[in-house]
Amino acid sequence: MRIGIVGSGAIGGPLGRLWANAGHDVMFSSRRPDQLRTLVTAAGSKARAGSANEAMDFGQIVLEAVPFAASLDLPADRLAGKALISASNYYPQRDGEIDLGGVSQSEALAQRLPGVTVVKAFNMMFAEEIEARANGDTNASLAIYFAGDSADAKSTAASLIEAAKFAPVDAGPLAAGWIFESGGPLYAKRMSTDEAKSKLENLARNGAPS
């Protein structure tokens, strides 16, 4: 699979290394692609670097791991017909005040990107856990929630979560992404698969995490 990565920092960088190691073709991106040489070398022969536009064109699926405000400026026309994995989180102190229109962060992004299939994933996981797997320091099983409205896109996202050495846990439709977005009850949690599923079930029953 060809994966374009927009935002090659603490999340996108190690994820790209993991995916390239799993056999996927990866394009990291930056305003200065030449500054990504060390990252590309670490990722191996399946990786390359380009501009953000080149990465979006390259990818059959695209990961965005940029500040939330920047994700809202992604070009819908360039991503049209593709699946976008959104790993961004909204932090008002960094992104400024943004009117989400009464919907979740994930839904607000999807509204800005008509014709693009958005799946929320990887945003609730600590960057150091992803880096540790990319460095081969751990294979400890931790759950990553994902949410979306397309069964095919969610299946692809689940396979990429597994390729990144985590356990995928389906949280439901995109509207359910709020529960593991920044400020949500299940954000930034280290959990086993059973724990993650139990938290979801408890939230569905009681409206609050256990």
pTM: predicted TM-score of the whole model, two decimal places = 0.96
Q: Partners of 41 in the beta sheet?
A: none
Q: What is the DSSP letter of 90?
A: -
**17-36 pLDDT, tens digit each:** 999 999 999 999 999 999 99
Q: Identify residue 168 by its one-letter amino acid code.
A: P
Q: List phi, psi (to 5°) of 123.
A: -70, -20
Residues of the chain falling short of pLDDT 50: 209-210
Domain positions in the chain are 2-206
* CATH code reported for the domain at 2-206: 3.40.50.720
- Spatial separation of the C-alpha atoms in residues 73 and 69, rounded to whole Å: 7
